[in-house]
Structure 1
Amino acid sequence: MSRKCEVSPMERACEQVCGADEDEAGGANGRAMLWSIQEALERQTLQIGTSACGATAVVDALKALGVDVAPEEADRCVQTRLRRIESPLPDYLLSRSEAGATHAQLIAGAVEASKGKVTGRFFHLHPRRQVNLVPWLARWLRKGAVPVATMNMQLAVPEGDEVPDAWHHQLIFGVAPNAVFMTNPLDVVSEEEVHQRLCSESALLVRREDVLQRLTPESCLSSFIESQTDPRWKALDVEGQVKQMVREEEQEQEGPVLTHIRIPAAYSSGVTLFALQQSHLGQELINAPELPPSAVTGPTHTDF
């Protein structure tokens, strides 16, 4: 496929959300871009390894700040964790809860890989915060900060699509009214959709087949859960969820069954902003206050 064909859907999307008048590209309409779509197509780093979306985002964040780092070095510094797919169910579930990287690993990895040239600051977006996402991102982008989103991709799933199997880190290379532009994959997503994924409890859905195929008579979930210091394993009743799946199998239940179990996740949803350490922006980032909690009561985007 030619490069022109690859980029044209993004170009069409940009025209739709940004409008054709480039004189309105900043200020009032909230548009801000680190890279043009063509530059993003040429400069983005595609996924560098299994569960390595975080390290991939770090590579591009450093690149956007003028610091070139080899992908394998970024991955080493981020210390990407892998799923232990051959493990029995208890250890497999533990590995799933930690697979990939947290925002803290991304920041530490960026600092180490850049030899201290780059700093990062994470902003929690769950529970829901008082923030208009695109204008907030646009302000930081115009100052030169580089955002990386940590999102629960199992939220805001289009009707008819399969529920994704993981969370995801993506570099944000630009925003426009009701639109967020990201790499790995190169995509434009509505502000509402991104905000839903950025406002999530730290939990992960694990598919039914991935649970049942690892369940053996020797799998002792009770002992495993008792040994965990994280109380969420008990609070989510992970053992009870697995037992329900087993009952459904034994009874050959017809109709709706559990398609997933819900387990604790190591990740927090939100945005990490990166900047050069020895810069006014770097100091501004470090000193910036947390986003205030939303005063709006009612449901948040935490349903799976």
Structure 2
Amino acid sequence: MSGRDGKTDDEAFIWTKQQARKMAKSQSGASNCGATALLNVLLALEVPLPPTEVADKAVRTNQRKYGVSASEYLAARSIAGCTGENIVEGCEKIAGDKVMSRFFAFYPSRTVNLHTWLAQWIRRGCCGVATLNTQEMYGADYWHHQMIYGVDTKGVHVTNGVEVLSFEEIQKGLVSPSVLKIDVDDVRRCRPFDPQSCDALGETWKTLKVSKQVSEIGTSGESYVHIPAAYKAGITLFARKGTSAAAALSEETDLKLRGGDPSDMSSYQRANEFQTDVEELCGVLEVPTNQAAAFQELYQALAEELSGKPSRSLLTDWEDHLKRARAQVDVESFINTHEADFRRTKTVNGAADLRHADMLRSRFRACGIYSSSLSLEELLKRCLEENRESSQQPRPSRITTQNGVWGVEHAAIRKRSYPYVPALGDSTGEAVIEARDQNDQLLGYVIQTGGNYIFDLAVDPRVQGCAVGVALVGTLASSMQRNGVSTMCLDVRRCNEPAVRFYNRLGFRIVKKTFPPWYDWHGGFHLEAETNAIAAHLETVSILESKI
């Protein structure tokens, strides 16, 4: 088949956006985004589809492992899912008589205009799969394969989820070394804890000094362990055999390494094109110099929401936007000037803990952005007081999850838990799953709506980090699984870093960025996960007693 040109030379699509939303397959299981991407490629190239399990086997989908040693857990994480090369091999196994493919590495940086390069191949009838380091793009805890069905001036159009990745954003995931960041909490919980075994996994593990990183968890102040990843960032192109596109693809050479100025990222860094517009608007709208950076952050967020330049009329009330929610750049500036306050935090044993300070920064960052009615100085006092109370709060010796009804106790938890006034209203009388300690003290709760949607999860800040959230979400997932529900989903504010990190660690995937009217201009993320994968985390909560 042949790719369809867009309305201009800047556009090329093999599907329309409507077709993509209607036809594209979504991920059906944990870590099988590679198989899903391959199925969408075959669908677009009008090749008969095999069952999903056949595609999984063909690309050799690997699963994460739980309840194993630290070294075995990390080894499994380094190969979870599949690589771009696996997708090429899988395509050959499934449809080798009909489709040919080529993987093009993008790291180290290549001399290529991604926009033009993709448009040329799509016009010939090709489609592609991007292998992306989404940790660098939006802080996820995984790499991701997404089928490419089009390109235009807005960016690269992909599936799973169906969205547009700006050229600046996708470049972060494409020009990335083969490294995976693993949250230290995930490693710390592994038993046996065998840091000495990590470097024995290979030369690259030795080079990254993984054994040293793991052995220093809790003392180094690092939030992540960096391990080798099997994946290579790049794009795999596919074409029907016997076509001119297939002939051209087989003769194409690898992309040339960038030899010039590494800052020359060509025309596809769309954000640079907006810079002139931002500067002009700052002058027209009389934006003070000390607020220019915040204004630019607002502009970029609105441009992302609109997939294009925001109008002057939309930005006339820019001050109101920044009053409702601060710009992250302003909050980061405050954190930098008050670094000593964060480093003076104490853990429960009274010792200074750099990782604890990092958690406090994340909490303050969310508070600072969303609680704009309070000064940053007042918010810092509150966060430090919260930290003091947390250090004096004994860890629960038992966590009991049970059914309950939302009331005064739950309202108090919600008020303490959220760093802003949530748009959730009064939940009095609603059914909840709640967590209580050995003294029947309420620790947190979760509310489910619509069959598989997490409407509200709140954990008392004084016991955050004690596996209460894992117990609640895991119990809910287990309950859903027993009722035949295979996937669960939720929405989270984009700058609520503690929540995003928590859900990523559990295995939730960021499906798309959203801008619902009840959120501020930063927008949010819609996340999904398989209930069986989430329920499996209950095995890590040794003090859990579930009555559900």
**Do both proteins adopt the same fold according to a TM-score greater than 0.5, normalized to the shorter chain?**
yes
- Show the counterpart of 2:249: 285
- Show the counterpart of 1:251: none
TM-score if structure 1 supplies the norm length? 0.81
Contact 1:128-1:300 at 8 Å conserved across structures: no
Contact 2:121-2:245 at 8 Å conserved across structures: no
Deviation per residue, 1:193-215 (Å, 9 max, x gap): 10111010000011121111015
- Show the counterpart of 2:440: none
The size of the alignment, in residue pairs, is: 260
The question of 1:225 aligning with 2:199 is answered: yes
Contact 1:74-1:109 at 8 Å conserved across structures: yes
3-state SS of 2:136 partner: coil
- Show the counterpart of 1:96: 77
Question: Percent identical across equivalent pairs?
Answer: 35
Find the aligned partners of 1:203 and 1:113 in 2 and give their Cα distance: 29
Find the aligned partners of 1:26 and 1:109 in 2 and give their Cα distance: 35
Find the aligned partners of 1:77 and 1:290 in 2 and give their Cα distance: 25
Give the deviation of 1:178 after TM superposition: 3.9
The one-letter code of the counterpart of 1:105 is N
Give the deviation of 1:277 after TM superposition: 2.4
Give the deviation of 1:297 after TM superposition: 4.2
Find the aligned partners of 1:88 and 1:277 in 2 and give their Cα distance: 46
The question of 1:109 aligning with 2:73 is answered: no
Find the aligned partners of 2:81 and 2:264 in 1 and give their Cα distance: 25
Structure 1 unaligned segments of length 5 or more: list them: 1-22, 158-162, 249-256
- Show the counterpart of 2:225: 261
Give the deviation of 1:41 after TM superposition: 0.4
Structure 1 79/300 Cα, relative in aligned 2: closer, same or farther at 3 Å? farther
Alignment of 1:5-24 (within 5 A): none
- Show the counterpart of 1:75: 56
Contact 2:71-2:197 at 8 Å conserved across structures: no
TM-score if structure 2 supplies the norm length? 0.46
Give the deviation of 1:188 after TM superposition: 0.9
| Residue 21 (structure 2) aligned to one of 34, 41, 44 | 41
Deviation per residue, 1:104-139 (Å, 9 max, x gap): 110111121125211110001000000111111000
The one-letter code of the counterpart of 2:157 is F
Give the deviation of 1:73 after TM superposition: 1.9
Find the aligned partners of 1:201 and 1:24 in 2 and give their Cα distance: 33
Find the aligned partners of 2:211 and 2:37 in 1 and give their Cα distance: 34
The one-letter code of the counterpart of 1:122 is F
Structure 1 runs of 4+ with >6 Å offset: none
Alignment of 1:1-304 (within 5 A): 25-27=7-9, 30-69=10-49, 70-157=51-138, 163-216=139-192, 219-226=193-200, 228=201, 230-247=202-219, 257-298=221-262
Give the deviation of 1:298 after TM superposition: 4.7
Structure 1 237/192 Cα, relative in aligned 2: closer, same or farther at 3 Å? same
Q: Which has the larger radius of gyration?
A: 2
Structure 2 unaligned segments of length 5 or more: list them: 266-548
Find the aligned partners of 1:56 and 1:41 in 2 and give their Cα distance: 14
Deviation per residue, 1:70-125 (Å, 9 max, x gap): 22221121110111122211011000000100111101111211252111100010
